[in-house]
Amino acid sequence: MNAMLDLAGIGIGPFNLSIAALADRQRLDTRFYDAKPAFDWHPGMMLPEASMQTSCLKDLVTPVDPTHPLTFLNYLVAHQRFYSFMNADQAAVSRQEFGDYLRWAAGQLHSLRFGSRVREVRFDNDRFRIRHDQGSQAAANICVGVGKQPFYPANSGRHAGARCFHAIDMQRAPRNLAGRRVTVIGGGQSGAEIVLHALQGHWGSPARISWISRRENFLPLDESPFTNEFFSPAYVDSFRQLSDCERRRTVDSQKLASDGISIDTLRALYQAIYRRVHVEGDAGAVACLPGRELTDLQGGGDFCVTTRHRQTGATEVLHSDYVILCTGFVSRLPDCLTPLAERMTLDPAGLPKLGAHFEARWDGPAERRIFMVNAGRYSHGIAEPQLSLMAWRAARVVNALLGRRVYQAEDGPGLIDWHRATAARAVA
Ligand SMILES: Cc1cc2nc3c(=O)[nH]c(=O)nc-3n(C[C@H](O)[C@H](O)[C@H](O)COP(=O)(O)OP(=O)(O)OC[C@H]3O[C@@H](n4cnc5c(N)ncnc54)[C@H](O)[C@@H]3O)c2cc1C
Protein backbone atom coordinates (compact mmCIF):
# COMPACT_ATOMS: atom_id res chain seq x y z
CA MET A 1 0.00 0.00 0.00
CA ASN A 2 1.29 3.47 -0.93
CA ALA A 3 1.54 6.40 1.51
CA MET A 4 -1.69 8.10 2.47
CA LEU A 5 -3.37 10.09 -0.33
CA ASP A 6 -5.14 13.40 0.25
CA LEU A 7 -8.15 11.99 -1.56
CA ALA A 8 -9.27 8.68 -3.05
CA GLY A 9 -12.17 8.87 -5.51
CA ILE A 10 -14.57 5.98 -6.03
CA GLY A 11 -16.00 6.05 -9.56
CA ILE A 12 -14.86 8.12 -12.53
CA GLY A 13 -17.91 9.65 -14.13
CA PRO A 14 -17.94 13.34 -15.11
CA PHE A 15 -18.40 14.46 -11.50
CA ASN A 16 -15.32 12.85 -9.98
CA LEU A 17 -13.46 13.64 -13.22
CA SER A 18 -14.12 17.33 -12.57
CA ILE A 19 -12.72 16.98 -9.05
CA ALA A 20 -9.70 15.10 -10.42
CA ALA A 21 -9.07 17.93 -12.91
CA LEU A 22 -9.19 20.70 -10.29
CA ALA A 23 -7.23 18.69 -7.69
CA ASP A 24 -4.54 17.97 -10.28
CA ARG A 25 -3.96 21.67 -10.79
CA GLN A 26 -3.64 22.21 -7.03
CA ARG A 27 -1.11 19.37 -6.78
CA LEU A 28 -3.23 17.44 -4.33
CA ASP A 29 -2.20 13.82 -3.98
CA THR A 30 -5.23 11.97 -5.33
CA ARG A 31 -6.20 8.75 -7.03
CA PHE A 32 -9.53 7.86 -8.58
CA TYR A 33 -10.75 4.31 -9.28
CA ASP A 34 -13.34 3.04 -11.75
CA ALA A 35 -14.60 -0.45 -12.47
CA LYS A 36 -14.72 0.16 -16.25
CA PRO A 37 -11.65 -0.68 -18.36
CA ALA A 38 -11.48 2.90 -19.72
CA PHE A 39 -13.41 6.15 -19.48
CA ASP A 40 -16.79 5.81 -21.19
CA TRP A 41 -19.79 8.08 -20.56
CA HIS A 42 -23.09 6.15 -20.50
CA PRO A 43 -22.11 4.08 -23.57
CA GLY A 44 -25.43 2.20 -23.55
CA MET A 45 -27.35 5.44 -24.26
CA MET A 46 -24.94 7.01 -26.74
CA LEU A 47 -27.42 7.49 -29.60
CA PRO A 48 -25.71 9.28 -32.50
CA GLU A 49 -28.21 12.13 -32.79
CA ALA A 50 -28.60 12.78 -29.03
CA SER A 51 -27.73 16.29 -27.90
CA MET A 52 -26.61 17.70 -24.60
CA GLN A 53 -29.18 19.37 -22.38
CA THR A 54 -26.45 21.57 -20.90
CA SER A 55 -24.17 24.20 -22.40
CA CYS A 56 -20.68 23.01 -23.36
CA LEU A 57 -19.32 25.90 -21.28
CA LYS A 58 -20.55 24.06 -18.20
CA ASP A 59 -17.71 21.62 -18.72
CA LEU A 60 -15.37 20.02 -16.18
CA VAL A 61 -13.62 23.24 -15.20
CA THR A 62 -14.64 26.45 -17.03
CA PRO A 63 -17.18 27.87 -14.55
CA VAL A 64 -14.52 28.03 -11.81
CA ASP A 65 -11.21 27.90 -13.70
CA PRO A 66 -11.51 29.08 -17.32
CA THR A 67 -7.73 29.02 -17.77
CA HIS A 68 -7.51 25.32 -16.90
CA PRO A 69 -6.03 23.19 -19.76
CA LEU A 70 -9.05 20.83 -19.69
CA THR A 71 -11.75 23.24 -20.86
CA PHE A 72 -14.10 22.26 -23.68
CA LEU A 73 -12.71 25.20 -25.67
CA ASN A 74 -9.20 23.86 -25.30
CA TYR A 75 -10.46 20.46 -26.48
CA LEU A 76 -11.78 22.16 -29.65
CA VAL A 77 -8.50 23.98 -30.22
CA ALA A 78 -6.42 20.86 -29.55
CA HIS A 79 -8.47 19.02 -32.16
CA GLN A 80 -8.16 21.89 -34.65
CA ARG A 81 -11.88 22.34 -35.01
CA PHE A 82 -12.57 25.64 -33.25
CA TYR A 83 -13.63 27.54 -36.39
CA SER A 84 -15.70 24.65 -37.79
CA PHE A 85 -17.36 24.32 -34.41
CA MET A 86 -18.29 28.00 -34.46
CA ASN A 87 -19.55 27.77 -38.05
CA ALA A 88 -21.70 24.75 -37.20
CA ASP A 89 -23.67 27.12 -34.93
CA GLN A 90 -25.30 24.27 -32.99
CA ALA A 91 -27.95 24.99 -30.39
CA ALA A 92 -26.51 22.12 -28.35
CA VAL A 93 -23.38 19.99 -28.62
CA SER A 94 -23.95 16.32 -29.43
CA ARG A 95 -23.62 13.92 -26.53
CA GLN A 96 -21.07 12.01 -28.61
CA GLU A 97 -18.80 15.05 -28.88
CA PHE A 98 -19.13 15.92 -25.19
CA GLY A 99 -18.38 12.30 -24.33
CA ASP A 100 -15.28 12.50 -26.50
CA TYR A 101 -14.24 15.69 -24.70
CA LEU A 102 -14.59 13.92 -21.35
CA ARG A 103 -12.51 10.99 -22.65
CA TRP A 104 -9.84 13.40 -23.90
CA ALA A 105 -9.69 15.09 -20.49
CA ALA A 106 -9.54 11.74 -18.68
CA GLY A 107 -6.62 10.75 -20.91
CA GLN A 108 -4.55 13.61 -19.54
CA LEU A 109 -4.98 12.96 -15.85
CA HIS A 110 -2.44 10.67 -14.24
CA SER A 111 -4.50 10.14 -11.10
CA LEU A 112 -7.08 7.86 -12.76
CA ARG A 113 -7.07 4.07 -12.45
CA PHE A 114 -9.47 2.03 -14.56
CA GLY A 115 -10.32 -1.66 -14.27
CA SER A 116 -10.31 -1.15 -10.49
CA ARG A 117 -13.69 -1.66 -8.89
CA VAL A 118 -13.61 -0.52 -5.28
CA ARG A 119 -14.72 -3.50 -3.20
CA GLU A 120 -14.57 -2.13 0.31
CA VAL A 121 -13.78 1.02 2.26
CA ARG A 122 -12.95 0.78 5.95
CA PHE A 123 -11.74 3.35 8.43
CA ASP A 124 -9.08 2.41 10.90
CA ASN A 125 -6.04 3.95 12.45
CA ASP A 126 -7.13 7.45 11.47
CA ARG A 127 -7.39 6.76 7.75
CA PHE A 128 -9.62 5.29 5.08
CA ARG A 129 -8.47 1.97 3.63
CA ILE A 130 -9.70 1.31 0.13
CA ARG A 131 -9.61 -2.22 -1.25
CA HIS A 132 -9.96 -2.39 -5.04
CA ASP A 133 -9.33 -4.91 -7.82
CA GLN A 134 -5.67 -3.93 -8.23
CA GLY A 135 -4.71 -3.74 -4.54
CA SER A 136 -5.36 -1.38 -1.64
CA GLN A 137 -4.75 2.24 -0.74
CA ALA A 138 -4.89 4.52 2.30
CA ALA A 139 -6.41 7.99 2.03
CA ALA A 140 -7.18 10.88 4.33
CA ASN A 141 -10.48 11.60 2.53
CA ILE A 142 -12.68 9.83 0.02
CA CYS A 143 -15.10 11.09 -2.63
CA VAL A 144 -17.89 8.76 -3.69
CA GLY A 145 -18.93 9.38 -7.31
CA VAL A 146 -20.55 6.13 -8.36
CA GLY A 147 -23.55 7.63 -10.18
CA LYS A 148 -27.03 6.15 -9.90
CA GLN A 149 -28.65 2.78 -10.43
CA PRO A 150 -31.33 2.03 -13.07
CA PHE A 151 -34.84 2.07 -11.65
CA TYR A 152 -37.18 -0.83 -12.54
CA PRO A 153 -40.81 0.00 -11.66
CA ALA A 154 -43.51 -2.50 -10.63
CA ASN A 155 -41.96 -5.96 -10.93
CA SER A 156 -40.19 -5.28 -14.24
CA GLY A 157 -36.70 -5.94 -12.84
CA ARG A 158 -37.25 -9.69 -12.70
CA HIS A 159 -37.79 -9.79 -16.47
CA ALA A 160 -34.57 -7.95 -17.27
CA GLY A 161 -32.85 -9.64 -20.20
CA ALA A 162 -32.52 -9.54 -23.98
CA ARG A 163 -36.11 -8.35 -24.60
CA CYS A 164 -36.77 -6.33 -21.50
CA PHE A 165 -34.07 -3.88 -20.50
CA HIS A 166 -33.36 -0.47 -19.07
CA ALA A 167 -32.57 2.38 -21.50
CA ILE A 168 -29.04 2.52 -20.12
CA ASP A 169 -28.42 -0.84 -21.85
CA MET A 170 -30.03 0.07 -25.19
CA GLN A 171 -26.79 0.27 -27.18
CA ARG A 172 -24.94 -2.46 -25.30
CA ALA A 173 -26.05 -5.11 -27.81
CA PRO A 174 -27.12 -5.05 -31.48
CA ARG A 175 -30.90 -4.56 -31.59
CA ASN A 176 -33.24 -5.73 -34.31
CA LEU A 177 -36.76 -4.50 -33.66
CA ALA A 178 -38.00 -5.10 -37.24
CA GLY A 179 -41.61 -6.30 -37.29
CA ARG A 180 -41.76 -6.36 -33.46
CA ARG A 181 -44.24 -4.83 -31.03
CA VAL A 182 -42.18 -2.50 -28.88
CA THR A 183 -43.29 -0.81 -25.67
CA VAL A 184 -41.24 2.10 -24.36
CA ILE A 185 -42.03 3.05 -20.77
CA GLY A 186 -41.06 6.52 -19.55
CA GLY A 187 -41.89 10.02 -20.79
CA GLY A 188 -38.56 11.75 -20.16
CA GLN A 189 -35.66 12.51 -22.51
CA SER A 190 -34.40 8.90 -22.74
CA GLY A 191 -37.85 7.58 -23.65
CA ALA A 192 -38.28 10.29 -26.29
CA GLU A 193 -34.86 9.63 -27.82
CA ILE A 194 -35.48 5.88 -28.04
CA VAL A 195 -38.94 6.28 -29.59
CA LEU A 196 -37.51 8.73 -32.14
CA HIS A 197 -34.54 6.51 -32.96
CA ALA A 198 -36.85 3.50 -33.36
CA LEU A 199 -39.28 5.46 -35.56
CA GLN A 200 -36.40 6.48 -37.78
CA GLY A 201 -35.80 2.78 -38.37
CA HIS A 202 -32.29 2.59 -36.87
CA TRP A 203 -33.10 -0.76 -35.24
CA GLY A 204 -35.28 -1.98 -38.14
CA SER A 205 -38.90 -0.95 -38.60
CA PRO A 206 -41.05 -2.07 -35.61
CA ALA A 207 -44.61 -3.28 -36.27
CA ARG A 208 -45.86 -1.00 -33.50
CA ILE A 209 -44.34 1.34 -30.93
CA SER A 210 -46.32 2.05 -27.78
CA TRP A 211 -45.01 4.92 -25.67
CA ILE A 212 -46.22 5.01 -22.08
CA SER A 213 -45.72 7.87 -19.64
CA ARG A 214 -46.99 8.54 -16.13
CA ARG A 215 -47.06 12.24 -16.91
CA GLU A 216 -50.28 13.73 -18.25
CA ASN A 217 -48.60 14.51 -21.57
CA PHE A 218 -45.16 14.36 -23.22
CA LEU A 219 -43.85 17.50 -21.59
CA PRO A 220 -40.96 19.81 -22.48
CA LEU A 221 -37.87 20.57 -20.47
CA ASP A 222 -38.32 23.99 -18.94
CA GLU A 223 -35.20 25.86 -20.03
CA SER A 224 -36.56 29.35 -19.51
CA PRO A 225 -34.26 31.91 -17.87
CA PHE A 226 -35.97 32.16 -14.48
CA THR A 227 -36.21 28.37 -14.17
CA ASN A 228 -32.53 28.09 -15.09
CA GLU A 229 -31.75 30.06 -11.93
CA PHE A 230 -32.34 26.75 -10.10
CA PHE A 231 -29.00 25.69 -11.60
CA SER A 232 -26.95 28.40 -9.96
CA PRO A 233 -24.76 28.42 -6.85
CA ALA A 234 -26.88 31.20 -5.32
CA TYR A 235 -30.03 29.08 -5.62
CA VAL A 236 -28.35 26.03 -4.09
CA ASP A 237 -27.26 28.09 -1.11
CA SER A 238 -30.76 29.43 -0.56
CA PHE A 239 -32.29 25.97 -1.12
CA ARG A 240 -30.08 24.57 1.62
CA GLN A 241 -31.66 26.89 4.16
CA LEU A 242 -35.11 25.31 3.72
CA SER A 243 -36.44 22.62 6.05
CA ASP A 244 -36.06 18.93 5.02
CA CYS A 245 -39.75 18.71 4.28
CA GLU A 246 -39.83 21.92 2.20
CA ARG A 247 -36.75 20.80 0.23
CA ARG A 248 -38.48 17.56 -0.76
CA ARG A 249 -41.65 19.37 -1.77
CA THR A 250 -39.64 21.90 -3.79
CA VAL A 251 -37.58 19.28 -5.65
CA ASP A 252 -40.71 17.30 -6.54
CA SER A 253 -42.36 20.45 -7.90
CA GLN A 254 -39.36 21.24 -10.14
CA LYS A 255 -39.39 18.00 -12.13
CA LEU A 256 -39.70 19.53 -15.61
CA ALA A 257 -36.71 21.80 -15.01
CA SER A 258 -34.48 18.73 -15.16
CA ASP A 259 -36.48 15.75 -16.44
CA GLY A 260 -38.55 17.18 -19.30
CA ILE A 261 -37.90 16.51 -23.00
CA SER A 262 -35.81 18.93 -25.11
CA ILE A 263 -38.04 20.94 -27.41
CA ASP A 264 -36.01 19.90 -30.49
CA THR A 265 -36.54 16.22 -29.65
CA LEU A 266 -40.27 16.78 -29.11
CA ARG A 267 -40.60 18.56 -32.44
CA ALA A 268 -38.63 15.89 -34.33
CA LEU A 269 -40.76 13.20 -32.70
CA TYR A 270 -44.05 14.85 -33.47
CA GLN A 271 -42.99 15.33 -37.08
CA ALA A 272 -41.85 11.70 -37.38
CA ILE A 273 -45.16 10.46 -35.95
CA TYR A 274 -47.15 12.79 -38.23
CA ARG A 275 -45.27 11.50 -41.24
CA ARG A 276 -45.79 7.87 -40.30
CA VAL A 277 -49.49 8.20 -39.49
CA HIS A 278 -50.71 10.77 -42.03
CA VAL A 279 -48.25 10.75 -44.93
CA GLU A 280 -47.41 7.05 -44.99
CA GLY A 281 -50.92 6.12 -43.78
CA ASP A 282 -49.71 3.71 -41.09
CA ALA A 283 -52.19 4.68 -38.34
CA GLY A 284 -51.27 1.79 -36.04
CA ALA A 285 -47.53 2.41 -36.12
CA VAL A 286 -47.36 4.48 -32.96
CA ALA A 287 -49.50 4.69 -29.84
CA CYS A 288 -48.77 7.67 -27.57
CA LEU A 289 -50.11 6.75 -24.14
CA PRO A 290 -49.56 9.41 -21.48
CA GLY A 291 -51.18 9.39 -18.03
CA ARG A 292 -50.56 5.64 -17.56
CA GLU A 293 -48.59 4.00 -14.80
CA LEU A 294 -47.04 0.57 -15.18
CA THR A 295 -48.63 -1.69 -12.59
CA ASP A 296 -47.53 -5.13 -13.74
CA LEU A 297 -45.33 -6.88 -16.26
CA GLN A 298 -45.75 -10.56 -17.03
CA GLY A 299 -44.40 -13.05 -19.53
CA GLY A 300 -41.16 -13.85 -21.28
CA GLY A 301 -41.47 -13.86 -25.10
CA ASP A 302 -44.90 -12.24 -25.22
CA PHE A 303 -44.91 -9.58 -22.52
CA CYS A 304 -48.16 -8.51 -20.93
CA VAL A 305 -47.77 -4.85 -19.96
CA THR A 306 -50.49 -3.71 -17.57
CA THR A 307 -51.07 -0.02 -16.88
CA ARG A 308 -53.51 2.01 -14.84
CA HIS A 309 -54.72 5.36 -16.09
CA ARG A 310 -53.93 7.92 -13.43
CA GLN A 311 -57.05 10.02 -14.06
CA THR A 312 -59.73 7.48 -14.98
CA GLY A 313 -58.35 4.51 -13.06
CA ALA A 314 -58.87 2.32 -16.17
CA THR A 315 -56.66 -0.74 -16.56
CA GLU A 316 -55.14 -1.39 -19.99
CA VAL A 317 -53.13 -4.38 -21.16
CA LEU A 318 -50.64 -4.29 -24.03
CA HIS A 319 -48.91 -7.27 -25.62
CA SER A 320 -45.34 -6.65 -26.57
CA ASP A 321 -42.24 -8.41 -27.87
CA TYR A 322 -39.85 -5.83 -26.40
CA VAL A 323 -40.13 -3.68 -23.29
CA ILE A 324 -37.68 -0.79 -22.91
CA LEU A 325 -37.65 0.85 -19.50
CA CYS A 326 -36.78 4.54 -19.66
CA THR A 327 -37.74 4.89 -16.05
CA GLY A 328 -34.84 6.81 -14.61
CA PHE A 329 -32.43 6.11 -11.82
CA VAL A 330 -32.24 5.83 -8.05
CA SER A 331 -29.46 6.64 -5.64
CA ARG A 332 -28.29 4.08 -3.16
CA LEU A 333 -25.29 3.66 -0.93
CA PRO A 334 -22.76 1.50 -2.81
CA ASP A 335 -21.94 -1.88 -1.28
CA CYS A 336 -18.29 -0.90 -0.78
CA LEU A 337 -19.40 1.63 1.89
CA THR A 338 -21.23 -0.97 3.99
CA PRO A 339 -18.49 -0.99 6.66
CA LEU A 340 -18.99 2.78 7.11
CA ALA A 341 -22.79 2.92 6.86
CA GLU A 342 -23.43 2.59 10.58
CA ARG A 343 -21.19 5.56 11.29
CA MET A 344 -23.06 7.88 8.92
CA THR A 345 -26.21 9.89 9.55
CA LEU A 346 -28.64 8.55 6.97
CA ASP A 347 -31.92 10.04 5.78
CA PRO A 348 -35.15 7.98 5.59
CA ALA A 349 -34.12 6.76 2.10
CA GLY A 350 -30.88 5.35 3.53
CA LEU A 351 -28.65 8.02 1.97
CA PRO A 352 -26.15 10.08 3.92
CA LYS A 353 -27.08 13.61 4.92
CA LEU A 354 -24.69 16.03 3.24
CA GLY A 355 -23.17 19.28 4.51
CA ALA A 356 -22.39 22.44 2.51
CA HIS A 357 -19.19 20.99 1.02
CA PHE A 358 -20.89 17.73 -0.01
CA GLU A 359 -19.41 15.94 2.98
CA ALA A 360 -21.46 13.17 4.55
CA ARG A 361 -22.24 13.50 8.23
CA TRP A 362 -20.47 10.76 10.13
CA ASP A 363 -18.96 10.15 13.54
CA GLY A 364 -15.33 10.06 12.37
CA PRO A 365 -12.73 12.83 12.80
CA ALA A 366 -13.78 16.16 11.26
CA GLU A 367 -10.64 16.30 9.10
CA ARG A 368 -11.41 12.88 7.57
CA ARG A 369 -14.25 13.45 5.13
CA ILE A 370 -16.52 11.30 2.98
CA PHE A 371 -17.54 13.55 0.08
CA MET A 372 -20.46 12.38 -2.04
CA VAL A 373 -21.37 13.72 -5.48
CA ASN A 374 -24.67 13.08 -7.30
CA ALA A 375 -26.18 11.96 -4.01
CA GLY A 376 -27.74 15.15 -2.66
CA ARG A 377 -30.88 15.85 -4.66
CA TYR A 378 -32.77 16.58 -1.45
CA SER A 379 -29.90 18.40 0.27
CA HIS A 380 -28.59 20.56 -2.60
CA GLY A 381 -31.51 20.55 -5.07
CA ILE A 382 -32.34 19.46 -8.60
CA ALA A 383 -28.99 20.51 -10.04
CA GLU A 384 -27.30 17.64 -8.18
CA PRO A 385 -27.59 14.93 -10.88
CA GLN A 386 -26.93 17.45 -13.69
CA LEU A 387 -23.69 18.64 -15.23
CA SER A 388 -24.64 22.30 -14.74
CA LEU A 389 -22.94 22.79 -11.39
CA MET A 390 -20.35 20.02 -11.55
CA ALA A 391 -17.33 22.35 -11.71
CA TRP A 392 -18.71 24.53 -8.94
CA ARG A 393 -19.29 21.47 -6.75
CA ALA A 394 -15.79 20.20 -7.54
CA ALA A 395 -14.44 23.60 -6.49
CA ARG A 396 -16.24 23.35 -3.16
CA VAL A 397 -14.75 19.91 -2.55
CA VAL A 398 -11.24 21.01 -3.51
CA ASN A 399 -11.51 24.17 -1.36
CA ALA A 400 -12.57 21.99 1.57
CA LEU A 401 -9.64 19.63 1.00
CA LEU A 402 -7.16 22.50 0.90
CA GLY A 403 -8.79 24.29 3.82
CA ARG A 404 -8.79 27.58 1.92
CA ARG A 405 -10.66 29.26 -0.89
CA VAL A 406 -8.49 28.60 -3.96
CA TYR A 407 -11.52 28.58 -6.21
CA GLN A 408 -14.22 31.16 -6.09
CA ALA A 409 -17.18 28.94 -5.35
CA GLU A 410 -19.73 31.74 -5.19
CA ASP A 411 -21.21 33.52 -8.15
CA GLY A 412 -22.90 36.67 -6.93
CA PRO A 413 -26.44 36.81 -5.63
CA GLY A 414 -28.29 35.89 -8.87
CA LEU A 415 -31.23 37.87 -10.21
CA ILE A 416 -33.90 36.40 -7.95
CA ASP A 417 -34.34 37.03 -4.26
CA TRP A 418 -35.58 33.53 -3.29
CA HIS A 419 -36.09 34.20 0.38
CA ARG A 420 -34.45 35.94 3.27
CA ALA A 421 -32.55 33.50 5.45
CA THR A 422 -32.69 35.39 8.70
CA ALA A 423 -35.12 37.88 10.25
CA ALA A 424 -37.26 39.79 7.77
CA ARG A 425 -35.51 42.74 6.21
CA ALA A 426 -37.33 45.63 4.64
CA VAL A 427 -37.05 45.74 0.85
CA ALA A 428 -35.67 49.16 0.01
C1 LIG B 1 -28.03 9.14 -21.17
C2 LIG B 1 -27.80 10.28 -20.22
C3 LIG B 1 -27.60 11.55 -20.71
C4 LIG B 1 -27.38 12.63 -19.84
N5 LIG B 1 -27.22 13.88 -20.36
C6 LIG B 1 -27.10 14.91 -19.54
C7 LIG B 1 -27.00 16.26 -20.05
O8 LIG B 1 -27.06 16.48 -21.26
N9 LIG B 1 -26.85 17.28 -19.18
C10 LIG B 1 -26.80 17.07 -17.84
O11 LIG B 1 -26.67 18.02 -17.09
N12 LIG B 1 -26.90 15.82 -17.32
C13 LIG B 1 -27.06 14.75 -18.12
N14 LIG B 1 -27.19 13.50 -17.60
C15 LIG B 1 -27.18 13.35 -16.14
C16 LIG B 1 -25.75 13.28 -15.51
O17 LIG B 1 -24.98 14.37 -15.96
C18 LIG B 1 -25.01 12.01 -15.85
O19 LIG B 1 -25.72 10.89 -15.41
C20 LIG B 1 -23.58 11.94 -15.29
O21 LIG B 1 -22.93 10.88 -15.95
C22 LIG B 1 -23.51 11.72 -13.79
O23 LIG B 1 -22.14 11.62 -13.46
P24 LIG B 1 -21.56 10.78 -12.24
O25 LIG B 1 -20.11 11.09 -12.21
O26 LIG B 1 -22.34 11.03 -11.01
O27 LIG B 1 -21.86 9.24 -12.54
P28 LIG B 1 -21.63 8.27 -13.75
O29 LIG B 1 -21.39 8.97 -15.02
O30 LIG B 1 -22.76 7.30 -13.69
O31 LIG B 1 -20.26 7.51 -13.37
C32 LIG B 1 -20.15 6.68 -12.24
C33 LIG B 1 -18.95 5.80 -12.43
O34 LIG B 1 -18.72 5.08 -11.22
C35 LIG B 1 -18.24 3.79 -11.55
N36 LIG B 1 -18.43 2.94 -10.37
C37 LIG B 1 -19.59 2.59 -9.77
N38 LIG B 1 -19.35 1.83 -8.67
C39 LIG B 1 -18.02 1.70 -8.59
C40 LIG B 1 -17.13 1.05 -7.67
N41 LIG B 1 -17.58 0.37 -6.59
N42 LIG B 1 -15.80 1.11 -7.88
C43 LIG B 1 -15.31 1.80 -8.97
N44 LIG B 1 -16.09 2.42 -9.85
C45 LIG B 1 -17.41 2.38 -9.66
C46 LIG B 1 -19.01 3.40 -12.78
O47 LIG B 1 -18.30 2.43 -13.53
C48 LIG B 1 -19.10 4.74 -13.52
O49 LIG B 1 -18.09 4.88 -14.47
C50 LIG B 1 -27.37 12.41 -18.44
C51 LIG B 1 -27.59 11.12 -17.95
C52 LIG B 1 -27.80 10.07 -18.82
C53 LIG B 1 -28.06 8.69 -18.26
pLDDT along the chain (428 residues), means of 10: 89 98 97 98 93 96 97 98 97 96 98 98 97 97 97 94 95 93 97 96 95 96 94 93 94 92 96 96 95 93 94 97 97 96 92 94 97 93 95 97 92 83 44
For the chain, give the percent of residues with pLDDT over 70. 98
Q: How far is ligand 1, taken at its centre, from the CA of residue 16, in Å? A: 10
Atom of ligand 1 nearest to the CA of 387: 11
Whether ligand 1 lies within 6 angstroms of the CB of 45 is answered as yes
Q: How far is ligand 1, taken at its centre, from the CA of residue 298, in Å? A: 30
Atom of ligand 1 nearest to the CA of 116: 43
Atom of ligand 1 nearest to the CA of 52: 8
Whether ligand 1 lies within 6 angstroms of the CB of 199 is answered as no
Asked, colleague to colleague, whether 5-148+331-402 and 150-220+261-325 share their fold, the answer is yes
Q: How far is ligand 1, taken at its centre, from the CA of residue 107, in Å? A: 17
Which pLDDT score, from 0 to 100, does residue 349 have? 85
Whether ligand 1 lies within 6 angstroms of the CB of 8 is answered as no
Q: How many CB atoms lie within 10 A of CB 285?
A: 18
- Which residues, other chains included, contact 298 with Cβ-Cβ below 8 Å and sequence gap of 6+? 304, 306
Which pLDDT score, from 0 to 100, does residue 38 have? 98
Residue nearest to atom 51 of ligand 1 (CA): 42
Residue nearest to atom 22 of ligand 1 (CA): 147
- Contact (CB, 8 A) for 240 and 380: yes
Which pLDDT score, from 0 to 100, does residue 423 have? 42
Which pLDDT score, from 0 to 100, does residue 300 have? 74
CA 96 to chain centre: 16
- Contact (CB, 8 A) for 169 and 44: yes
Q: How many CB atoms lie within 10 A of CB 319?
A: 13
CB-hemisphere CA count at 13 Å for 404? 2
State the Cα–Cα distance between residues 7 and 349, nearest whole angstrom: 27
Longest C-alpha distance within the chain, in Å? 72
Q: How far is ligand 1, taken at its centre, from the CA of residue 131, in Å? A: 22
Q: How far is ligand 1, taken at its centre, from the CA of residue 363, in Å? A: 28
Whether ligand 1 lies within 6 angstroms of the CB of 42 is answered as yes
Beta pairing class for 208-212 and 181-185? parallel
Phi, psi of 126 (to 5 degrees): 70, 20
Which pLDDT score, from 0 to 100, does residue 381 have? 93
Q: Ligand 1 test: best mutation among 49, 168, 387, most atoms within 8 Å of CB?
A: 387
| Among 220, 219, 202, 198, CA closest to 210 | 198
Q: How far is ligand 1, taken at its centre, from the CA of residue 67, in Å? A: 25
Residue nearest to atom 27 of ligand 1 (CA): 147
Q: Which CATH number fits domain 5-148+331-402: 2.30.40.10, 3.40.50.300, 3.50.50.60, 3.30.470.10?
A: 3.50.50.60
pTM greater than 0.85 (yes/no): yes
- Class of the CATH-defined domain 150-220+261-325: alpha beta
Whether ligand 1 lies within 6 angstroms of the CB of 376 is answered as no
Q: How far is ligand 1, taken at its centre, from the CA of residue 373, in Å? A: 10
Atom of ligand 1 nearest to the CA of 148: 30
Atom of ligand 1 nearest to the CA of 374: 26
State the Cα–Cα distance between residues 3 and 292, nearest whole angstrom: 55
Domain residue spans of the chain: 5-148+331-402, 150-220+261-325
Beta pairing class for 135-144 and 5-10? parallel
Which pLDDT score, from 0 to 100, does residue 421 have? 58
Q: How far is ligand 1, taken at its centre, from the CA of residue 224, in Å? A: 25
Q: How far is ligand 1, taken at its centre, from the CA of residue 18, in Å? A: 12
Type of residue found at 105: A
Atom of ligand 1 nearest to the CA of 40: 49
Which pLDDT score, from 0 to 100, does residue 155 have? 86
